[in-house]
Amino acid sequence: MDAMMMDYQLTLVHVLERARTIHPNVEVVWRMPDRSLQRYTYGDMHRRSVALAEALQKAGLKEGERVGTLMWNHYAHMEAYFGIPLSGGVLHTLNLRLHPKDLSYIINHAGDRFVIVDDVLLPLWDKVKDLVDVEKVFVVSLTGQPLPGGTTEYEELLSTATGDYAYPDIKENQALGMCYTTGTTGRPKGVVYSHRAMVLHCLGSGLADTLAVSQQDIMVPVVPMFHANAWGIPFTATFFGSKVVHPGPHLDPESLLDLFEKEKVNVTAGVPTIWFGILQAIQKEPDRWNLQPGMRMIVGGAAAPESMIRAFDKHDLRVIHAWGMTETTPLGSVANLKPELLSASEDEQYAYRAKQGVPSPLVDVRAVGDEGEVAWDGESLGELHVRGPWVAGDYFNQPEARGQWTDDGWFRTGDVVAIDEHGYIRIADRTKDLVKSGGEWISSQALENALIGHDAVAEAAVIAVPHPKWQERPLAVVVLAAGSAAESAAGSATESAAGSAALEEELKEMLAEKFASWWVPEAMVFADEIPKTSTGKFQKSKLREQYQDWTWD
């Protein structure tokens, strides 16, 4: 028997209308390229988003057609997040850190009909435009520079709206947006989000036990709006009436810390690379910034080492470790402390907070090894599979990637994990980043997390390098912390070799205390930096290439 509740579709119409009616005076703030701060309210954003929706329809956009956005985090991107889906179109965020060839591939694959581009990103667009077939280009004028021919100013587009607009009849399973994953291997793959998935994902992010996003919050998504929907924050903040503060293109630690202080920010979100920089800046000048005590820093996109969580706690800044993927919208799990762990020792608590956390409500997880699902004992490793209403069920026009889903309908994440009896997931590694030494697995990530805990180490990546006897052995690539004794030593040509050798021994001894002896890398390389992907993750494929001819002693 069917129930008799209202057939109320879960769409962005409700989210934006709620902002208009319940939170019209809450601010949206953004930093311009010239570093000035500008602001308006959700009331303004509502009006302009609706104008954008109407204007796009007037410009000829039809239901389901894609509009690309090549933009930093700011007001116009917020308006695009709502205006494009509420015109019936599909918001396609473009990663401005990609190579023009990859960008053009993605734009062509998605079939973007229009794009909206920041004027400061026109130099990038110039390298892309001849490789793609985009009908109209709208330019957001942030600097006042003259626009190139054949483009339309964004405000001019908005001015075509009459204000007399009725939302189309949007169904919850309709496409709202898409985002391409830029894995380190294979072609980028497009994830197509529904209105339903995004509304549910907002609810998931507002729960007291996950990210607790609230009208009391003032949030900075450092994570770019072209990266997995900025983890949903533009939608979630609008839904719940959190003040949102966008850093624009200024993502250096000092600019961010100035922003946190000035706008009294209490929640922020980004990848670990950002937080390493922030931490160094704070450690260097502990009294310079007056931040909100207990500021929540949501860290995801890559693992946050325990040492980082500890270090921020000393400054009363709370790292909340979370895990997700473009394919999971992205909220997957959050490492809050469960009540049964509140009486655990400090060390134990840190160990749990450094895990990837407990799956969010509405996200099912399992770890699957060679012999099926493994026990939740904190030790047994298996590939993490996930399932839920905001998990992708397919990629856009990519039938060859169907293998990413199991026959019984779960998404294979590619992460190798152990799940413990409390439900915390610990990522041991990406399947492709494990080191297989003499038939046994070594977790490169566990080694990296340990290395990063040493004061002298700023970053560390461990990769598998071919080995004549063991098939593969781990090689550690280490970046020294600025100002560490070892770095000073390395700076002096005559003493550098000795200094590095001494540090290498020290690091190996530290690892030997924590891991089986055969896990400890025989060799370490000290490098100036570790190559990163456009989203700030270690690009291990490049490192492996670089060290493929490594000769073991």
Which residues here bind a second copy, judged by CB under 8 A? Answer: 1-8, 10, 14, 17-18, 21-22, 25-26, 63-64, 90, 173-176, 191-197, 200, 202-204, 206-209, 212-216, 239-241, 338-340, 358-359, 361-362, 364, 376, 387-396, 409, 411, 423
Cβ nearer to a second copy, comparing 422 with 542? 422
Contact 376, 419 (CB under 8 A): yes
> What is the spatial distance between Cα 78 and Cα 230, in angstroms, rounded to a whole number?
11
As measured in angstroms, the least distance from the Cβ of 207 to a second copy is 4
As measured in angstroms, the least distance from the Cβ of 25 to a second copy is 7
Rounded to whole angstroms, what are the CA distances from 190 to 194, 345, 397, 430, 543? Answer: 13, 44, 8, 20, 26
CB atoms near residue 402 (< 10 Å): 9
Closest CA to 66 of 118, 124, 107, 99: 107
As measured in angstroms, the least distance from the Cβ of 79 to a second copy is 21
As measured in angstroms, the least distance from the Cβ of 218 to a second copy is 9
As measured in angstroms, the least distance from the Cβ of 61 to a second copy is 12
* Residue 327: active-site member: yes
Contact 533, 453 (CB under 8 A): no
Cβ nearer to a second copy, comparing 66 with 430? 66
As measured in angstroms, the least distance from the Cβ of 442 to a second copy is 29
Cβ nearer to a second copy, comparing 55 with 358? 358
CB atoms near residue 214 (< 10 Å): 16
Q: Which of 441, 472, 508, 532 is catalytic?
A: 441
DSSP 331-344: EEEE-PPPGGGTTS
Q: Tokens standing for 414? A: 């590619």
As measured in angstroms, the least distance from the Cβ of 541 to a second copy is 27
User: What's the first-to-final CA gap in the chain, in angstroms?
Assistant: 72
Burial class (CB in 10 A: 0-12, 13-18, 19+), 398: middle
Cis amide bond preceding 286, omega within 30? no
Closest CA to 481 of 316, 313, 346, 311: 311
> What is the spatial distance between Cα 17 and Cα 454, in angstroms, rounded to a whole number?
50
> What is the spatial distance between Cα 23 and Cα 40, in angstroms, rounded to a whole number?
12
Contact 20, 46 (CB under 8 A): yes
Cβ nearer to a second copy, comparing 94 with 176? 176
Cβ nearer to a second copy, comparing 62 with 314? 62
Cβ nearer to a second copy, comparing 89 with 300? 89
* Residue 58: active-site member: no
Q: Which H or E run contains 489?
A: helix 485-491
Rounded to whole angstroms, what are the CA distances from 98 to 107, 120, 495? Answer: 12, 16, 40
Q: Which of 69, 151, 181, 413 is catalytic?
A: 181
Cβ nearer to a second copy, comparing 213 with 220? 213
As measured in angstroms, the least distance from the Cβ of 543 to a second copy is 33
> What is the spatial distance between Cα 90 and Cα 194, in angstroms, rounded to a whole number?
10
Contact 247, 259 (CB under 8 A): yes
Cβ nearer to a second copy, comparing 342 with 482? 342
As measured in angstroms, the least distance from the Cβ of 293 to a second copy is 17
As measured in angstroms, the least distance from the Cβ of 245 to a second copy is 15
Cβ nearer to a second copy, comparing 16 with 124? 16
Q: Torsion angle of alpha carbons 234, 235, 241, 246, nearest 10°?
A: 0
Strands of the sheet with 372-373, listed across from one edge: 372-373, 364-369, 382-387, 411-419, 425-430
> What is the spatial distance between Cα 380 and Cα 377, in angstroms, rounded to a whole number?
6
Q: Spell out the residues 6+ positions from residue 419 whose beta carbon is closer than 8 angstroms to its own.
A: 365, 367, 374, 376, 378, 425, 426
* Residue 441: active-site member: yes
Closest CA to 201 of 392, 19, 367: 392
> What is the spatial distance between Cα 263 and Cα 248, in angstroms, rounded to a whole number?
14
Q: Which of 436, 505, 506, 552 is catalytic?
A: 436
Task: State the DSSP code for 405.
Answer: B
Cβ nearer to a second copy, comparing 109 with 432? 109
As measured in angstroms, the least distance from the Cβ of 193 to a second copy is 6
Phi, psi (rounded to 5 degrees) for 217: -90, 150
> What is the spatial distance between Cα 258 and Cα 242, in angstroms, rounded to a whole number?
20
Cβ nearer to a second copy, comparing 78 with 175? 175
* Residue 509: active-site member: no
Positions marked catalytic: 181, 327, 436, 441
